[in-house]
Every structure is written in C-alpha cells, then in structure tokens.
Structure 1
Amino acid sequence: MTAATRANALPILIAASVMMSLAMGMRQCLGLFLPPMTQALALSASDFTFAIAVQNIVWGLVQAPLGAVADRWGLRPVMVLGAIAYVAAMAIMTATNGVWILVLAQALIGIGIACTGSSLAMTATARAASPERRSIILGIVGAFSSVGTLVIAPALQALLGAWDWRWGGVLFVLLALAMVPAAMITGRVDRVPQPTAPRASVAGVIAEALRNRRFVVLCATHFVCGLQLIFINTHLPNYLALCGQDPMLSATALAIIGGINIAGCLLAGYLGQRHAKNVLLGLTYLARSVVLTIYFLLPPTPATTILFAAAMGMLWLGVIPLVSGYVADLFGTRNMATLLGVSFVIHQMGSVTGAWGGGMIFDAFGNYDLAWRIGVSIGIVAGIVQIVFGGPARTPSDARPAPAAG
C-alpha cells in the first residue's frame, strides 16, 4: 500500500470506527431500558425481550441480502440508508407507548445495524487495509465497537436514574444522527480498487462457500457468540436489580466490558495475524463459558460483577476481527459482505435465543439459573467443535477466492 493510499484509507478507517462504535454501543446498552420501560409501560420482561428478539431476527435475515447489495452496488448507499433507519428507529422507540410500537422500533434497529454494524464496517476496513496488516487493523477498528459502550452506558444510566426513560431515547436519536456523516465517509472505500474475479450470482458465491467445511463450522459456532453476548446485554441489568444491586452497577459493568474489550480486540487482531484463527475463536467460546459459570455460581456483589465484566471484556467482541479476518483469508474481500452476512444469520439465531429465551425462562421460573446453564453448555460444545473441525487456518496466498458477485 503506497503512502497516498494509506492517506486515503485513514479517514475511511476512522469513520468506520465511529460508525460501528455508535451502532454497536447503542445496541449493547438497550438492556438498560428494560427495568424503566417495563415499569412505565406495564410490560413484562418477555415483552421487552421479544422486541429485542425481533431486532435480532430482522438483523440476521437482512444481513446477507444487504451484504450482497453492498458487494454489487457499493457500501456507501447501504450504510447511509442504514444510518437513517437507525435514526428513525430511535425516534419511534422514544415515542413508544406499547409493545408493538417497541417491536417496530427494534425491527428498524435490526435493519440499521445490519447496514452500519460489524459486518459492513469490517468489510470496509478489510478492503481499505493491506493484506499483510489486515488482521491487526481489523482488531484496531473492532476495538472501537466497544468505545461506544464505554461512554454510552454510564451516560444513559445517569439519564435513566435522574429523568424519564424517554430522555435516554432522545440521547440515542442524537447519537444515531452522528452516524450519517460517518457512514458517508466510510463509503469512500467503494473507490478503492478490488481484485477482479469471474462473474457469478450471489447464490453461486454462497454455494461455493457452503462447500467449504471451515466456513460451515465457522457459521455454526457463531451461534454461541450471539447467544452469550445478547443474554448478558439484555438480562444483566434485570439480574442485578433482582439481586438488590444498585442500577448503576449494571451500567458500570457494561462500561467496563466496553473499555476492556478495546484491549481484547487489539489482542485478538494481533494474535490472529500470527496464530490459527479457528483455535483462537474456540478458546474464546470456552473461556466465556468458564467466566459465566464462575460468576453465576457466586453471589453477585459489586466486586464479583466488576471482575466478571473485566474478564468478559477481554473475550467480548474479539470474535469480530477473527471471524472477519478468517473469511477474508479463505475467500478474499470481494464478496466479504455477503459471506459475513451468511455467517451472521446463525449468530442472530443465537441472539434471539439469548434475548427472548432468557426472558421466557425468567418469566417461567423467576430466575436465570436454567438460562445461564444452557449458555455455558452450548459455549463448551461450540468451542470444542471450532478447534477440532474449524481449521487449519489458511493464509490469503493459499485461499481460493469465491466467485465475485458482479
């Protein structure tokens, strides 16, 4: 990559970091709305988590088609429209007075984050980065996905503690508006030349990828990532409130997760440049399961919660640079948005299970014991499968790119 190209890539990488930081940060803090919204609107926990589940279903269903559109016609229009959808979603959520308006808002968030979150932001990053530095740069940009949580969580909880929950919604509308110019700048990556490949349909690209055992395992084990993270995001505030802890503790925990995850993503990007990504992913799922087990077996206190948050922070979104880098290693970047979208469908199935399933278990039993045990069990299985059947990792020079989608 020449000096001129590096200079052109820097604004793209900064804007992608800002866009993803806001998109993922707001989404990861939605669980803080659960206690005040359910009380103010007379909703149950399962009502709220059903809306979160709809968000994750929509996000998963539209990710691959939107990725295919971005691969064919450019990232910029998709990301800008997604940022606008995010603004509309936050405005509708702020005005909600019942479960179905909340569901509509969450569905729009699903569309918005599919356009501005990790899959397209990582695709833009991978295309702007040189292959020899791609994993490290993916880790750096991925680290910014937690900066939003680090800043937004305590600010939101302060608003929720002092005023009506709708003021928190107003904050989210303003943050979503800031995503629009960031999306426009990130879209400049469409001008970066990409390797050419034989023309093929989107179905051909996906069919080629699904014949690759490593990709199939990667997609299948991505389920546990969505399940564990969304369970914590959505239900940790309610769990701590149930245990009589200060509401600010859950916001502090989410902020710590976001802050420590900066180091976790940087470490994942660094290690992914040097070691087998499938092994690193499997170890991440196993380590998360160990941390969850220890935390839920102990009585929740401020000290154990902060330690839990710090440990989870190191393991939180480091999967983003690892998964994105592995897909780029196997298939190149030409159809990366499409293929990340395919893997994300399975991720979102896990997210739905973690959010809505956790809410139903809580409503049925009045506690989260069964929910966390299921999350731990699935995490152990996924970690072992990813290590044993998901490798070995391949380098870009060994990869046989999937056919280009136009």
Structure 2
Amino acid sequence: MHDPRRLSPVQVLLCGALVVTLSMGIRHGFGLWLQPLTQAHGWTREHFAFAMAVQNLAWGLLGIGAGMLADRFGPYRVLWAGALLYALGLAGMALATQPWLFTLAAGVLIGAAQAGTTYAIVYGVIGRQIEPQRRSWAMGVAAAAGSFGQFLMVPLEGWLIDRLGWQAALLALAAAVLAIGPLALGLREPDFRGGAPLAREQSVAQAVREAFAQRSFQLLMAGYFVCGFQVVFIGVHMPSFLKDQGLGPGVASTALALIGLFNVFGTYAAGALGQRLAKRKILAAIYALRSLAIVTFLALPITPASVYVFAAVMGLLWLSTVPPTNAIVAQIFGVAHLSMLGGFVFFSHQVGSFLGVWLGGLLYDRSGSYDIVWWLAIALGVLAAMVNLPVREAPLPRGPQRAATA
C-alpha cells in the first residue's frame, strides 16, 4: 500500500533531476563568459574570477541557512525563492557596468540562488522520500542529472553566445531558469504542506553539535574542500588555459561538455557502488585518480586529443564525490537534518571553490601562468585521498528511535 506521507520515487527523481539539470547546468558554463565579458568591459580576469569566487562562497555559506529552512518548512518555498534569485542574478550579470555590480549579481545573488536550488535541497527530499537501501543509488541518479545538465547546457550556452551575444544569452538563461519554480511542485512533501514540519528527536543546535564533534564529519568536510578547489578552478579557468595554449574556443566548449557527459556515468557509478562498497574508499580513490589525471595531462603535449581524453577522465571523477559524501552524512546522522548538515559539508566545498577560482585568476595575473594552481590541485588531491580513509560510516546510536529516523 502506498504511504500517503511519501512522494512517488519516480516523481522525486524526475523533478529533482530536472531542477539540478537547470541549476547546475547553467553554472557549469560560466567560464564561457570570462573572455567576452572582460574584454567588453576592459576588466581583468581577476575581476571575473573574484565574482565567481564570491558566488561559491555565498553558495556555501547561505546553503546552510537554505538547508535549515528546507528541513524545517520543506523544499518547495526554498526552490521557488532560489529560482527567482537565479533569474535576477543572470539578468544582473548581463546589465552590470561596474565590477562591484557584477560581483553583487554573479557572486551574491547567484550564490544565494544556487544554495536554494542544488544538491543540498534536492538530496534532503531524496533522503526523506527514498528508502535507505536505495538512497545512495538515488543520489547518484540526481548527481548524474546535474552532469547531464552540463553536457546539455554548456554547448547550448556557447551557441547562445554566438547567436545572441553574451548579454542577450544571459537574459535568455534568466528566463529559462524560472522553470525551476513549477518543477518544485513535484518535490512538495506531504509532511510539509501547510507548513507542518517533521517531528524530530533533535533540535538544530543539538544536530550541529553532534556532527561537529565527530571526527568523520570533520574529515568529510576536509575532503570536500579539495573537491571544490579542483573542480571550480578547472571549470572556470579551463577555457582561458586552453586559449593560452593556442587552442580555439571550440575545444574548450567540447571539453566542458565531455566533462558533463562522462560525469553522468561517473556520478551514477559512484552512487551505485556506494550500495556495495565502503563509501570512504570510493572517495579516496576518486581524489587520488584526479591528481594522477592532472599530472598526466600536464606532462603530455596539450593538443585537442589530449584535452578531450583529460576531460573524459575528469568527467568520470568530477561530481562523483557528491553521492557517497552525502550518503555517508545520511548514514551516520539520519535524514531529519540532512539538508542542513549537507549544507555545512558543502560550505567547506565552497571555501575550496572560492580559493580555487580566485587563486586561478590572481596567480595568473601575477605570474602569467596557471602552473602554481595546477600543482596545488594535485597536492590537495593526494591529501584528500588520505583524509577520507579513516572516516567511519556506522550510524550514531541515539536510542530506539534511531532506526526510524535513519
């Protein structure tokens, strides 16, 4: 018999996947705007990189609050608010004439929008609505959808820039992202309708204190910091790096699309493997393989073929950290505060993102090369592989109600 307190799993995965496809797909293409926008305004790469860095930091910081609101009042209102902020931010990127206005739009507004429309919010619904036996797999499906969004949206964004110009392309995306609002109806959980929150055995403060007292939670945050540093540096600066190597913009667009395509398989595989293998070992392997891939890429001549192979390999490893990391958090702490705790872990990811994208622009402007940041990404990947191995995945006991909440 169908439980009236649960949504259809197909509905949850379909609507959640489409939301993530839009929200993540659009942001993955922001690197395509770096050169046309800075050249049009006479800004440096650091101006653009700083705005993207603020975006990642605002996303992570505000994601904690968005997670709290989604856990307390449900995801529906949070998703709608995020969609509206996303549209305003994209329009602001198109119309800003000063670096500080661009940072306000691309950094603060879109950062806040992503906090309310991406993984922490969608995974909270999945954690509550999908049974534990299929949770890691379901998170892999949602992450794969975000990757498909990159594969779908990045070439579309490049096409829009070519056909409409960079400003009109941003305005077109501002209209498209409003579709997240109607999709939120499919994630409106019965227990939250009318503003009635779920019953909880812990307060927010108790859940936060418990999580931060656990070494495994701290180690997951450290690993996720590295994930953010690596993927956002590569995602934003790859087009400019390849142009510096004498390759055309089509190579960059294809590379970013390949990352998205292969990430569909990588994230799904990571979620599925998380049902069978220790998730900490999956995470350690992902981080170690990323460092190996970067070393190999830099050691070989930079050609279109080597770029495409690197993009495919990195795609398999790109967001494949997301399902096992969030599944471990749910497994250890339960799902009542999953969006909030996932928000804290993701904040660490975004601090890494801030440093990766900002240092990429800063050190390029200072040295004329991305070499230092590439080698930082390699060293951090090795460190992340090491810190994930000691993570303990066993649920924390809290008495007889624990089984019901997990």
Bin for the TM-score computed over the shorter chain: over 0.9
Deviation of 1:256 (Å)? 0.8
1:74-112 Cα offsets, whole Å, 9 max, x none, are 221111111111111111112122211210112111000
Read off the aligned partner of 2:213 and give its amino acid letter: R
The answer to whether structure 1 residue 340 and structure 2 residue 378 are counterparts is no
Q: Over aligned residue pairs, what C-alpha RMSD do you find?
A: 2.4
Pairing 1:178-197 to 2, within 5 Å after superposition: 178-188=179-189, 190-191=191-192, 196-197=199-200
The answer to whether structure 1 residue 285 and structure 2 residue 287 are counterparts is yes
Deviation of 1:382 (Å)? 1.2
Instruction: Count residues in correspondence.
Output: 401
Pairing 1:236-255 to 2, within 5 Å after superposition: 236-255=238-257
State the partner residue of 2:382. Answer: 380
Contact 2:74–2:197 (Cα < 8 Å) also in 1: no
Pairing 1:159-170 to 2, within 5 Å after superposition: 159-170=160-171
Contact 1:127–1:194 (Cα < 8 Å) also in 2: no
Contact 2:263–2:320 (Cα < 8 Å) also in 1: yes
Contact 1:92–1:102 (Cα < 8 Å) also in 2: yes
Match of 1:216 among 215, 218, 226: 218
State the partner residue of 2:42. Answer: 42
Match of 2:227 among 220, 225, 242: 225
Alpha-carbon distance between aligned partners in 1 of 2:198 and 2:125, rounded to the nearest angstrom? 14
Deviation of 1:27 (Å)? 1.0
Contact 1:12–1:189 (Cα < 8 Å) also in 2: no
Give the gaps of 5 or more residues in structure 2.
none
State the partner residue of 2:57. Answer: 57
Alpha-carbon distance between aligned partners in 1 of 2:212 and 2:240, rounded to the nearest angstrom? 39
Deviation of 1:3 (Å)? 8.2
Alpha-carbon distance between aligned partners in 1 of 2:319 and 2:326, rounded to the nearest angstrom? 12
Pairing 1:5-404 to 2, within 5 Å after superposition: 8-106=8-106, 107-188=108-189, 190-191=191-192, 196-200=199-203, 202-387=204-389, 389-391=390-392, 393-394=393-394
Contact 1:261–1:314 (Cα < 8 Å) also in 2: yes
Alpha-carbon distance between aligned partners in 2 of 1:71 and 1:379, rounded to the nearest angstrom? 32
1:55-82 Cα offsets, whole Å, 9 max, x none, are 0111111111221122112221111111
Alpha-carbon distance between aligned partners in 2 of 1:54 and 1:45, rounded to the nearest angstrom? 14
Deviation of 1:274 (Å)? 0.8
Structure 1 residue matching 2:48: 3-state secondary structure: helix
Taking a change above 3 Å as real, the CA distance of residues 188 and 43 of structure 1, as seen in their structure-2 partners, is same
Read off the aligned partner of 1:132 and give its amino acid letter: Q
Taking a change above 3 Å as real, the CA distance of residues 77 and 244 of structure 1, as seen in their structure-2 partners, is same
- Larger displacement relative to structure 2 (162-171 or 282-291): 162-171
Structure 1 residue matching 2:146: 3-state secondary structure: coil
Read off the aligned partner of 1:382 and give its amino acid letter: A
Give the gaps of 5 or more residues in structure 1.
none
Taking a change above 3 Å as real, the CA distance of residues 199 and 223 of structure 1, as seen in their structure-2 partners, is closer
Deviation of 1:45 (Å)? 0.5
Taking a change above 3 Å as real, the CA distance of residues 311 and 223 of structure 1, as seen in their structure-2 partners, is same
Contact 1:25–1:148 (Cα < 8 Å) also in 2: yes
Alpha-carbon distance between aligned partners in 2 of 1:328 and 1:232, rounded to the nearest angstrom? 29
Alpha-carbon distance between aligned partners in 1 of 2:185 and 2:83, rounded to the nearest angstrom? 10
Deviation of 1:166 (Å)? 1.0
Contact 1:82–1:113 (Cα < 8 Å) also in 2: yes
Taking a change above 3 Å as real, the CA distance of residues 189 and 251 of structure 1, as seen in their structure-2 partners, is farther
Deviation of 1:319 (Å)? 1.2
Alpha-carbon distance between aligned partners in 1 of 2:29 and 2:43, rounded to the nearest angstrom? 19
Deviation of 1:181 (Å)? 1.0
Read off the aligned partner of 1:360 and give its amino acid letter: L
Structure 2 residue matching 1:146: 3-state secondary structure: helix
Alpha-carbon distance between aligned partners in 1 of 2:30 and 2:401, rounded to the nearest angstrom? 38
Deviation of 1:9 (Å)? 3.2
Read off the aligned partner of 1:212 and give its amino acid letter: Q
TM-score, with normalisation over the residues of structure 1? Answer: 0.93
Alpha-carbon distance between aligned partners in 1 of 2:163 and 2:346, rounded to the nearest angstrom? 37
TM-score, with normalisation over the residues of structure 2? Answer: 0.93
Structure 1 residue matching 2:52: 3-state secondary structure: helix
Deviation of 1:21 (Å)? 1.0
Structure 1 residue matching 2:336: 3-state secondary structure: coil
- Larger displacement relative to structure 2 (182-191 or 104-113): 182-191
1:226-276 Cα offsets, whole Å, 9 max, x none, are 000000111000001111111011111111111111111110011101111
- Larger displacement relative to structure 2 (311-320 or 289-298): 289-298
Contact 1:82–1:112 (Cα < 8 Å) also in 2: yes
Read off the aligned partner of 2:201 and give its amino acid letter: P
